Amino acid sequence: MNKLLLSLLGAALLPALTQCNTLEKDIAGINARNAEIACEPRGNYFVGRRYHVPATRFWGYLRQPGQTWRTAQLVIMDESACRTPDRLPEYTGNPRYAYDNNYEYRVYGKYTGKYGYEPNSNLKLPIFKPTRFEVANANPGWLFKPSEKYDTGAVTLRPAIMPATTSLPVR
């Protein structure tokens, strides 16, 4: 009887222990990345991460250099001055469209002060008018936390999925 009770107790506690371990790893990873971000050179650009979900019209996330991904905004790009790097024909079977999903860029330009409605995600998003893109990293890894799961069917990656961590010193 005691062996059965211990087995059941162990089975019940295992997911909780795994979640705790995942949370600790996420926080450690986020803190390490935030330390790297704190050392980024400041300048007149934004750090952008391409985030593609099929059938949506947003581009991805932008943040200011030195600011954590928790401050990032999902944006729609106004391509009247500069086309996005993946601007290729969209059709089923085109393996090149959105080839740059999860690439990290230095993005030059400015927010227009306007918002656009993205109907497939039901989001009202700020519009950014880029003037230039520079690839900073073609394989930067996770965006908001190490344990995140990318889903092509919905907007699953948002700053809100980040656990609370220690804050960075202000420079």
At 47-98, the pLDDT tens digits run 999 999 988 999 999 999 999 999 999 999 999 999 999 877 666 666 667 8
Query: CA–CA distance from 25 to each of 163, 165, 171 (Å)?
Result: 11, 11, 26
- Over the stretch 72-85, which tens digit does the pLDDT of each residue have? 999 999 999 999 99
How far is 74 from 124, CA to CA, in rounded Å? 10
Q: Which residues lie below 8 Å from residue 68, measured CB to CB, with a gap of 6+?
A: 34, 37, 168
What band does 19 get if pLDDT is binned at 50, 70 and 90? low
pLDDT of residue 115: 98
- Residue 26: both structure tokens together: 């996420």
- For residue 12, pLDDT over 60 is answered with no
Rounded average pLDDT over 5-29: 63
- For residue 106, pLDDT over 70 is answered with yes
pLDDT of residue 93: 67
Say what the alpha-carbon torsion angle 109, 75, 42, 145 is, to the nearest 10 degrees.
-160
pLDDT of residue 153: 85
Q: Which of 33, 58, 66, 52 is nearest to 142 (CA)?
A: 33
Q: Which of 135, 127, 88 is nearest to 109 (CA)?
A: 127
Query: CA–CA distance from 31 to each of 4, 16, 24, 144, 153 (Å)?
Result: 41, 22, 11, 11, 29
pLDDT of residue 92: 63
Q: Is the entire prediction scored with pTM above 0.85?
A: no
- For residue 35, pLDDT over 50 is answered with yes
Element (H, E) at 135: strand 123-137
pLDDT of residue 4: 54
Beta bridge partners of 132: 108
Distance of CA 150 to the CA centre of its chain: 10
- Over the stretch 119-159, which tens digit does the pLDDT of each residue have? 999 999 999 999 999 999 999 999 989 998 888 888 888 88
